[in-house]
């Protein structure tokens, strides 16, 4: 049994005299004489079965833990026919446990006793995965860490004390207790919340109550937000007051302003979204003029783009101004600058468009999945004087390649005048591609009675990487009921929805109980992260089952294969009591059904047939595990994996009776035979 403080077993003692006659209604005591755990006088008929799916979906770790005990004793419950029962709950120390049953109501000086040994297995192997090992050093970004814990037999270990600690770097761990997430099936999870300092953070995951030291580390890189790209349009503006020396104050006009667009990238080249006006600032470092606060440009879907802008406003002075943009949220405060020249006159603004410039701001390693944020397309429309043309919205379309643009471009408001700026934006959302592909996007603007101006921009789209699939546990008993989770890790920083991944069985047995989801239910630990989780239910018997996980949202349908081994067939251990029976006597048949790990198996259909000899099996030959029993044979507990059958001997024919017991639920239908002697 696993030393998890939770697993339980039914204990049965058989008491008979020297001639084999059952001794009912005596006092039998079970005692733990070595090892850990507890004994319980569970009420007869109690359903002690475990709902595996309910355990998988439990929202808290409800496992009770027992302190080491040198001995603990309970009085066994009599079933009225010489069988006595109690329940044992495992301790938490991996060691042999010796339990003794003694007949304490006897008049003999030396109490008759029998012992059994239960081997408790402690955690032996720990594996740790993180769903995102590279985060921007903004503070608040999160990654899910999952630890998989199994014992020496390959069984998942529940109820262990698994800790997650930041031992180097910045950030914090949010434990499962604060998240209300499941800690079951041998899977333990926590969330890492990044700090604001770039570098490598090391997180140590340890099993603190294992008999041996089990500890693993994972590293998460916090990327510096260290690169700013800036452009100004136009780069020559007219001073306030215009070309005349009029003494009255004129309002700020388009010709007095320039739009400055700034893209903020991290060390991987990815755009950094969500910076506020206190994070990213603009200031006139030298020269005349002033600037407004920075504002992030929103995509047509309302998401941030990682591209920001400000409006430069000229003063009455004529000179070159240097505008400096600084990211105060990043270590080292990376900067970018542009220059804007202020002159006495620049000609006219607006009018007929004569030139068009188009630029696309995308992540360097652009992910073409539908869940990716749109790229930002920015068009600058100018007239023959090189000045902005406001109010002339260009058309934008995909000329060649894949993907789609928003229906029309939107003019950025001038942050100083409230009017137009001559800068237009749109979103581009790529389609998924199976191989790297260049897409050409074209913007087109046409003035009334003027020429059509166009500009093209090439966007390179990379294919979606195939996911990583972790099946746990990788070995299941062949019991047609055990469950394994399939954690699918997205490697493109796409938050998968509940329909993205499809799991199919390409070889072997069993079924997919739940397709991968990212809802925090049905095996999924944390909703909305980069991991979607499915659930596989074992088939029966000695086979390797192959699972194929397919990304149905990606071109080419990238897939990954994972295997789960389904173990040996059911093991049946049978006791016929009494083994020496009289004519017309009821024999109790106790059938212990276990998997290859020794775990009890409930819910199976087990039948008993008379192969040779004269006897009758009650209930049509079917054994029961219902907490009630059959005929004169009582079943102690429901769904404990101990099945009972009643065999009634002949009233006239003596001799050996050969009984065959078959587990018909198991695909391999394992069989065991037992002989009862009738005299």
3-state DSSP assignment of residue 217: strand
Determine contact, residues 67/8, Cβ cutoff 8 Å. Answer: no
Q: Distance (Å, rounded) from C-alpha 582 to C-alpha 22? A: 12
Q: Which of 307-316, 335-344, 403-412, 616-625 comes out lowest in average pLDDT?
A: 403-412
Beta-bridge partners for 101 = 30, 114
Q: Distance (Å, rounded) from C-alpha 107 to C-alpha 377? A: 95
Of residues 26 and 333, more confidently modeled: 26
pLDDT at 152 over 60: yes
Strand order in the sheet with 468-472: 468-472, 483-489, 531-537, 511-517
Cis peptide before 234 (omega within 30 of 0): yes
In 3D, which of 437, 379, 435 has the Cα closest to residue 405? Answer: 379
Rounded average pLDDT over 642-670: 94
Specify whether 105 is located in the same domain as 150.
no
Rounded average pLDDT over 425-437: 87
Q: Distance (Å, rounded) from C-alpha 619 to C-alpha 633? A: 11
Domain limit, last residue, from 180, 204, 223: 223
3-state DSSP assignment of residue 461: strand
Q: Distance (Å, rounded) from C-alpha 472 to C-alpha 156? A: 8
Distance of CA 404 to the CA centre of its chain: 31
Q: Torsion over CA of 590, 596, 601 and 606, rounded to 10 degrees?
A: -60
Specify whether 303 is located in the same domain as 441.
yes
pLDDT at 62 over 60: no
Specify whether 205 is located in the same domain as 260.
no
Domain limit, last residue, from 168, 197, 223: 223
Q: What is the pLDDT of residue 301?
A: 81
Q: Distance (Å, rounded) from C-alpha 679 to C-alpha 298? A: 91
Q: What is the domain extent for residue 155?
A: 123-223
Q: What is the CATH number of the domain that holds 185?
A: 2.60.40.10
Specify whether 512 is located in the same domain as 637.
no
Specify whether 295 is located in the same domain as 267.
yes
Specify whether 350 is located in the same domain as 472.
no
Rounded average pLDDT over 598-618: 95
pLDDT at 442 over 70: yes
Q: CA angle at residue 43 from 41 to 49, to 5 degrees?
A: 100
Q: Distance (Å, rounded) from C-alpha 505 to C-alpha 20? A: 52
What pLDDT, in 10s, does the model give residues 215-270? 999 999 998 777 899 999 999 999 998 555 454 567 899 999 999 999 999 877 88
Q: What is the pLDDT of residue 465?
A: 86
Q: What is the pLDDT of residue 223?
A: 86
Determine contact, residues 634/81, Cβ cutoff 8 Å. Answer: yes
Specify whether 520 is located in the same domain as 561.
yes
What pLDDT, in 10s, does the model give residues 489-506? 998 888 899 999 999 999
pLDDT at 129 over 90: yes
Q: What is the pLDDT of residue 477?
A: 87
What pLDDT, in 10s, does the model give residues 456-482? 999 988 888 889 999 999 999 887 788
Q: What does pTM read for this prediction? A: 0.76
DSSP 147: E
Specify whether 317 is located in the same domain as 450.
yes
pLDDT band at residue 57 under the 50/70/90 scheme? low
pLDDT band at residue 164 under the 50/70/90 scheme? very high
Determine contact, residues 482/509, Cβ cutoff 8 Å. Answer: no
Q: Which of 83-87, 302-306, 641-645 comes out lowest in average pLDDT?
A: 302-306
pLDDT at 402 over 80: yes
pLDDT band at residue 372 under the 50/70/90 scheme? low
What pLDDT, in 10s, does the model give residues 332-367? 889 999 999 999 999 999 999 999 999 999 875 455
Determine contact, residues 258/311, Cβ cutoff 8 Å. Answer: yes
3-state DSSP assignment of residue 18: coil
Q: What residue ranges in 404-553 does DSSP mark as E strands?
A: 404-405, 410-411, 423-429, 437-446, 452-461, 468-472, 475-476, 483-489, 501-507, 511-517, 531-537, 543-551
Q: Distance (Å, rounded) from C-alpha 515 to C-alpha 534? A: 5
pLDDT band at residue 28 under the 50/70/90 scheme? very high
pLDDT band at residue 53 under the 50/70/90 scheme? low
- Number of domain units in the chain: 5
Specify whether 14 is located in the same domain as 79.
yes
What pLDDT, in 10s, does the model give residues 173-203? 999 889 888 678 899 999 999 998 889 999 9
Q: Distance (Å, rounded) from C-alpha 231 to C-alpha 339? A: 9
Q: How far is CA 618 from CA 24, 378, 593, in A?
A: 22, 83, 20
Q: What is the pLDDT of residue 594?
A: 93
Determine contact, residues 45/627, Cβ cutoff 8 Å. Answer: yes
Non-local CB neighbours of 651 within 8 Å, separated by 6+ positions: 583, 584
Specify whether 109 is located in the same domain as 142.
no
The 10 Å Cβ neighbour count of residue 345 is: 11
Determine contact, residues 203/220, Cβ cutoff 8 Å. Answer: yes
Q: What six digits make up the tokens of 441?
A: 């996007």
Q: Distance (Å, rounded) from C-alpha 181 to C-alpha 106? A: 53
Specify whether 470 is located in the same domain as 443.
no
Specify whether 280 is located in the same domain as 427.
yes
pLDDT band at residue 63 under the 50/70/90 scheme? very low
Sign of CA dihedral 93, 98, 103, 104: negative
Domain limit, last residue, from 461, 478, 505: 461
């Amino acid at each position: 049994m696993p030393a998890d403080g939770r697993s339980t077993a039914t204990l049965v003692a058989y008491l008979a005299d020297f001639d084999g006659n059952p001794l009912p209604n005596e006092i039998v005591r079970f005692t733990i004489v070595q090892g850990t755990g507890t004994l319980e006088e569970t009420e007869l008929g109690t359903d002690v079965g475990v709902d595996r799916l309910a355990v998988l979906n439990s929202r808290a770790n409800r496992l009770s833990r027992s302190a080491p005990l040198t001995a603990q004793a309970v009085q066994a419950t009599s079933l009225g026919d010489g069988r006595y029962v109690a329940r044992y709950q495992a301790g938490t120390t991996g060691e042999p446990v010796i339990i003794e049953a003694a007949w304490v109501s006897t008049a003999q000086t030396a109490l008759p006793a029998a012992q059994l040994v239960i081997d408790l297995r402690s955690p032996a192997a720990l594996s740790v995965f993180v769903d995102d090992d590279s985060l921007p050093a903004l503070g608040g970004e999160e990654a899910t860490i999952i630890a998989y814990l199994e014992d020496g037999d390959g069984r998942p270990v529940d109820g262990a004390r698994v800790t997650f600690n930041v031992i180097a770097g910045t950030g914090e761990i949010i434990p499962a207790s604060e998240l209300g997430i499941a800690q079951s099936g041998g899977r333990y999870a926590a969330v890492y919340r990044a700090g604001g300092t770039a570098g490598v953070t090391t997180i140590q995951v340890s099993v603190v109550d294992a008999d041996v030291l089990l500890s693993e580390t994972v590293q998460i890189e916090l990327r510096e937000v260290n690169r700013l790209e800036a452009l100004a349009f136009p780069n020559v503006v007219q001073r306030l007051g215009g070309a005349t020396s009029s003494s009255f104050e004129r309002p700020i006009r388009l010709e007095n302003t320039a739009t400055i667009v700034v893209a903020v990238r991290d060390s991987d080249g990815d755009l950094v979204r969500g910076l506020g006006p206190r994070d990213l600032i603009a200031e006139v470092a030298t020269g005349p003029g002033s600037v407004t606060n920075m504002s992030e440009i929103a995509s047509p879907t309302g998401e941030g783009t990682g591209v920001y802008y400000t409006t430069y406003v000229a003063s009455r002075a004529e000179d070159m101004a240097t505008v400096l943009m600084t990211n105060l949220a990043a270590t080292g405060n990376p900067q970018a600058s542009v220059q804007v020249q202020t002159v006495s006159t620049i000609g006219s603004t607006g009018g007929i468009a004569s030139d068009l410039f188009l630029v696309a701001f995308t992540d360097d390693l652009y992910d073409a999945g539908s869940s990716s944020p749109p790229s930002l397309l920015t068009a600058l429309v100018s007239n023959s004087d090189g000045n902005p043309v406001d109010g002339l919205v260009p058309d934008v379309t995909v000329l060649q390649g894949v993907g789609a643009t928003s229906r029309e471009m939107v003019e950025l408001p001038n942050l100083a005048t409230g009017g137009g700026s001559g800068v237009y934006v749109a979103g581009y959302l790529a389609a998924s591609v199976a191989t790297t592909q260049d897409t050409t996007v074209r913007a087109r603007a046409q003035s009334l009675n003027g020429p059509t101006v166009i500009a093209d921009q090439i966007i390179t789209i990379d294919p979606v990487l195939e996911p990583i699939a972790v099946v746990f546990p990788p070995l299941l008993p062949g019991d047609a009921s055990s469950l394994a989770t399939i954690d699918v890790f997205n490697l493109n920083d796409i938050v998968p929805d509940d329909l993205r991944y499809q799991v199919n069985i390409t070889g072997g047995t069993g079924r997919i109980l739940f397709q991968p989801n990212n809802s925090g239910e049905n095996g999924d630990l944390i909703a909305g992260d980069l991991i979607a989780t499915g659930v596989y239910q074992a088939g029966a018997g000695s086979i390797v089952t192959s699972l194929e996980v397919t990304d149905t949202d990606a071109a080419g349908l990238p897939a990954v294969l994972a295997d789960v081994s389904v173990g040996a067939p059911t093991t049946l251990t049978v006791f016929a009591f009494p083994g020496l029976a009289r004519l017309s006597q009821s024999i109790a048949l106790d059938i212990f059904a276990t998997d290859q790990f020794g775990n009890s198996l409930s819910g199976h259909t087990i039948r008993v047939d008379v192969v040779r000899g004269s006897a009758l099996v009650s209930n049509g030959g079917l054994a029961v595990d219902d907490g009630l029993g059959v005929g004169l044979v009582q079943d102690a507990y429901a769904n404990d994996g101990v099945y009972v059958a009643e065999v009634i001997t002949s009233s006239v024919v003596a001799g050996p009776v050969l009984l065959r017991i078959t587990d018909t639920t198991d695909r391999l239908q394992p069989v065991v035979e037992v002989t009862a002697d009738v005299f």
